[in-house]
Amino acid sequence: MGSSRDECSSQMKFNSNEEVLCYCKQVSPISTSWTKENPGRRFYGCSRYRVGVSFSIGMKTSFPKELGTSFLLYEKKKIRLGNENERLRKQLWNAGIKVDDGDNVGGSISTGVVGSNVVDDEATRKHDGESEEIEKIRVEVDLLKEENRRLKLKACSNKKSKEIYRLCFLVSCVLNGFILLFLKSNSNGNGFLSLP
C-alpha cells in the first residue's frame, strides 16, 4: 500500500498493518466514487461516514474515464432491468400467477449504491480488479435480461390462456343458446319443456 501514498501522506495516519486511519482512529478503506461528475475516483473514506465522520482523502490513481463511464452505463441498465422485472412480477402477481423464487434466474436486483453514489469495493484495491468489477456487473445485467425475457414469456402465455378461456366461454354460451332455442321450438303447446 506504500505505492498508493501521495502528497497527502503527511496528513494520513497509519496503524501497524499500514492501513490508513481516520481522525476517529477507525480504519479507512479504499472506496470508489461512481458519481456522474467524477466516475472512478478512488479515495480513503471513513467506515463511520454515516454517523457524521467526514474523513476523506483522495488518491492520485483512479480508473480510466472510459471504465467509469461504462460502469455507470451498466449500473443504470442493471437498475432499469431490475425495475422492469419487478414491474412484470407485480403484473403476474396481480393476474394471479405465482412467481416462485425458484423461477428466479439469478442475480441481485440491488443497486450496490451506498450513500451518495459511493460504492465500497474491495476488488478495486488493485487495478486488476477493474475488469473483474465490470465483468461482474455485465454478468448481472445478462442474468437480469434473461429473467426479464422469461417473465415476459410467462406474462404472454398467461394472456393467451386468458383469451382461450374467454373464447371457450363465449362458444359454450352460444351453444347453450342454440340448444335452448332448439328445445323451445320442439316443445309442444303445453309450455316450455313440459312433460308429455
- End-to-end alpha carbon distance in the chain: 104
Domain count of the chain? 2
Residue 136 burial (CB count, 10 A)? 15
**Phi, psi of 57, rounded to the nearest 5 degrees:** -125, 125
One domain, residues 51 and 137: no
- Asked whether residue 121 is domain-assigned, the answer is yes
Q: What is the pLDDT of residue 24?
A: 72
- The kind and range of the H/E element at 87 are helix 65-94
Average pLDDT over residues 119-148: 64
- Asked whether residue 169 is domain-assigned, the answer is no
- Asked whether residue 3 is domain-assigned, the answer is yes
- Asked whether residue 174 is domain-assigned, the answer is no
One domain, residues 57 and 85: no
What is the phi-psi region of residue 52: left when phi exceeds 0, alpha when psi lies from -120 to 50, beta otherwise?
Answer: left
Mean pLDDT of the chain: 66
- Greater confidence (66 vs 145) lies with 145
**CB-CB contact of 193 with 187 (8 Å):** yes
pLDDT at 143 over 70: yes
Return d(Cα 173, Cα 100) in angstroms, integer: 35
Domain containing 129 equals 64-162
- Asked whether residue 36 is domain-assigned, the answer is yes
Average pLDDT over residues 88-103: 68
